[in-house]
Chains A and B, each alone.
Chain A
Amino acid sequence: MAMSGVDLPPVRPQTSLQRPGFLRRLMADYGQELIVLLAIVVLFVAVTAVNPRFISANNLTSIFSGNAYIAVAAIGMAMVIITGNIDVSIGALIGVLATISGTLAVAGYPIWVAWFFPVLVGMAINGLIGILVAYFRIPSIVVTLGALSILRGGLISVTGGTWISDLPPAFLIAQQKWLGLPVPLVAMIVLTVLAALWMRYSAFGRSLYAVGGNPEAAVATGIPIERRIVAVFILNGFFAGLATILFATQLQVIQSTVPPNLELTIIMAAVIGGVSILGGSGTVIGSTLAAILFATIGSALIFVNVSAYWLRAVIGLLILATVLADMLRRRRTV
């Protein structure tokens, strides 16, 4: 930043002011995203220096595509948190949707039904959650905690925990490639970019920030807060459904139980990616980068022989730092 002013002739002071201005704006809009991106780059450089296999094509595939479902789910979660809500039932929802998906596939329904029917189910369940939050004014943490218990308990009661195997090979889309790239990676990038553009440039997307950041002003400008909250939960169900397609088709068997702590990982991805836990700011680019960061840390710890327990300690510290920074930023601007 500093060097840009030095080289410029004094006759054009305008330019020397504009450049730092642009950077400052970039830092203000995408500060956390840049920090996370920097962390990923530093990790890659450092671990590759220790063991060059870290950056092999196979390992990159493992890092990006094995965890893409977390990034996809975190897109919906970021939107929910931006409106000042939270969803702790998402891990259980993904477990339930995966079981529905696998059951349909094994029962002989067309593959696309097995993929996309669970997406509709996810949207319906989350629509209901949204209605309870928006119109009945029940805090989202309470509604989704209830949903968590219902989904998790219901899953076990219905399946009895039997694993689903004998999945048709065509169903296993997460193991396939598009244009030479693993499907989960392509899906993660495309969905993140589309969602980010939509959040930044559409009136609807912009209004979500107003709902979370300044509800009074949102009401004053005519934004229907209740409908936005229901919509954002339906979107969350949509992304959870898409995440499920990647999750359920990764292996030849589906474990009919809810993966432990999946909701925490997804929420952490959103928060570390710069989505303010208080609502009103953040981007889905940040949540996707944070999901990639977790995956990179997880792989890196094995490559440099550090216990995986440090992963949680590191992520805990990252959250603390992120939230502190968020609080400080807010205190300064208010």
Chain B
Amino acid sequence: MHKIVLSALLALSFSTSLSHAQSAWTGGDDLPTNPLACDATPATAEAKPYDGGQPTNPPDRKGKTLTVVDVPKLVGIGYFNATSKGIADAAKEMGTMNAKTDGPSKANIDDQITLIDNYITSGVDGILFAANDPVAISPVLKKALAAGINVVGYDANSEPDARQWFVNQAEFNGIAKAMVDSMASEIGEEGSFAIVTSTFTTPNQARWISEMAAYQAKCHPKMKWLETVEAQEDNILSFNQSNTLINKYGDELKGIFGMTSVATPAAADAVTQAKKCGSVAVVGLATPNAMKPYVSAGCVKSVVLWNPVDLGYAAAYVLRAAADGTLAPGATSVKAGKLGDLSVINGSEILLGAPFVFTKDNINDFDF
């Protein structure tokens, strides 16, 4: 029995290490980047034909009550609680959607695939998802489309043809600009900074890091990127990694970027406990509640994010419009309740809007 346990442990530690050993250690990906203008000029949208998938022979769902399941990356973290709330808000507002959230308890792609598969079997009208892995999730989503189910993604995408639409919370270059501009205004144009991310291969984080590198090179060329460390989605590990960065670089380190809602508060705590508030800035992606102690204490000035409640809300409206047929391939915008008209980008994506920077003045207006 113990030998089995042991081999499992070994296999686990080896598989997770070796599969990632080749990735770039800075935590970015190899995809092309598209940094925004250094001033506030909006990006010019490039027209692209619809590249999403379509459900096979869906029943006529126009105006009918939809049974919808929302499968986030994982349940039990503030962020996906907020998207889930947005979906519930929208469903309540429409009155024609029964939505429930059911996701894996760890951000595990295998668990997520199993869950979606079960819901295809049990029969639903629509699936909302945030993918743990863009490639691995695609076959099961295609199976859902083939079963006539409407499929819409949000937060983390699949392959385009595995879903009808994807609600993009913010373009990567938009977030990157907000992050780097905030950091530059806090530590100056010649400051040195490091990054704490989840893992080097987490798709969103890797994309943001690449875009941040490109934007920094273009608009803040004298800032110095020291290194990126990974800390899973583990707050004590994020805290330890941030401490190590502070200890390693000493006074050279002027800022830390937190790339996840777990890493950012932990980095802020490390800076607080090292009594470096004011001399080491923390700028990051995080949910407001976890950041309130640090923002209130003045240790953190900028928390960059979009509004995840709006993201879930928009995803529910997009699914409704897709099921009704009012959002069809070739459309350039979609009505999303109180959010108004959202524009279609990149063929089959809906852009939520510009990122949101939480500060001491507005953070207490949010509760997620």
Chain A residues in contact with chain B, CB under 8 A? 51, 53-54, 56, 58-59, 62, 66-67, 69, 84, 86, 88, 139, 141, 152-153, 155-156, 159-163, 165-166, 175, 247, 250-253, 255-257, 259-262, 264, 267-268, 271, 277-279, 295, 298-299, 302-303, 305, 307-313, 315-316, 319-320, 323
Alpha-carbon separation in the docked complex, A137 to B54 (Å) = 54
> By the criterion CB–CB under 8 Å, are B75 and A156 in contact?
yes
Alpha-carbon separation in the docked complex, A156 to B103 (Å) = 11
> By the criterion CB–CB under 8 Å, are A141 and B5 in contact?
yes
Contact with A along B68-109 (1 / 0, CB 8 A): 000000011110110000000000000000000000011000
Closest chain B residue, CB of each to CB of A161:
B76
Question: What's the minimum C-beta distance from A63 to chain B, rounded to whole angstroms?
Answer: 8
> By the criterion CB–CB under 8 Å, are A251 and B9 in contact?
no
> By the criterion CB–CB under 8 Å, are B237 and A259 in contact?
yes
Alpha-carbon separation in the docked complex, A51 to B245 (Å) = 13
DSSP class of B's interface residues: helix, strand, loop or mixed?
helix
Closest chain A residue, CB of each to CB of B80:
A161
Residues of chain A contacted by B233 (CB below 8 angstroms): 257, 260
Closest chain B residue, CB of each to CB of A256:
B76
The number of residues on chain B lying at the interface, defined by a beta carbon within 8 Å of a beta carbon of chain A, is 58
A315-B244 contact given A162-B81, A259-B235, A277-B6, CB 8 Å threshold = no
Alpha-carbon separation in the docked complex, A312 to B9 (Å) = 11
DSSP class of A's interface residues: helix, strand, loop or mixed?
helix
Residues of chain A contacted by B21 (CB below 8 angstroms): 307, 309-310, 313
> By the criterion CB–CB under 8 Å, are B76 and A163 in contact?
no
Residues of chain A contacted by B241 (CB below 8 angstroms): 298, 302, 308
Interface-forming stretch among B171-179, B180-188, B265-273? Answer: B265-273
Interface-forming stretch among B12-20, B121-129, B149-157? Answer: B12-20
In the complex, whether B240 has a CB less than 8 A from a CB of chain A is: yes
> By the criterion CB–CB under 8 Å, are A160 and B13 in contact?
no
A313-B76 contact given A66-B240, A141-B5, A252-B293, CB 8 Å threshold = no
In the complex, whether B338 has a CB less than 8 A from a CB of chain A is: no
- Residue among A152, A165, A305, A309 with most chain B CB within 10 A: A309
Residues of chain B contacted by A69 (CB below 8 angstroms): 236
> By the criterion CB–CB under 8 Å, are A156 and B76 in contact?
yes
Question: What's the minimum C-beta distance from B169 to chain A, rounded to whole angstroms?
Answer: 19
Q: Which one of B17, B250, B266 contacts A309 once the chains associate, using CB atoms below 8 Å?
A: B17
Contact with A along B209-246 (1 / 0, CB 8 A): 00000000000000000010110111111011101111
In the complex, whether B317 has a CB less than 8 A from a CB of chain A is: no
Alpha-carbon separation in the docked complex, A56 to B230 (Å) = 23
Alpha-carbon separation in the docked complex, A53 to B244 (Å) = 10
In the complex, whether B45 has a CB less than 8 A from a CB of chain A is: no
In the complex, whether B165 has a CB less than 8 A from a CB of chain A is: no
> By the criterion CB–CB under 8 Å, are A58 and B105 in contact?
no
Q: Which one of B17, B78, B229 contacts A162 once the chains associate, using CB atoms below 8 Å?
A: B78
> By the criterion CB–CB under 8 Å, are A307 and B240 in contact?
no
What are 23 residue pairs bridging A and B, where the CB atoms are less than 8 Å apart in the complex? A51-B248, A56-B247, A58-B246, A66-B240, A66-B243, A159-B76, A161-B75, A162-B81, A163-B290, A165-B290, A250-B239, A251-B266, A253-B235, A253-B269, A268-B13, A302-B245, A303-B248, A307-B25, A307-B200, A309-B200, A310-B17, A315-B13, A323-B6
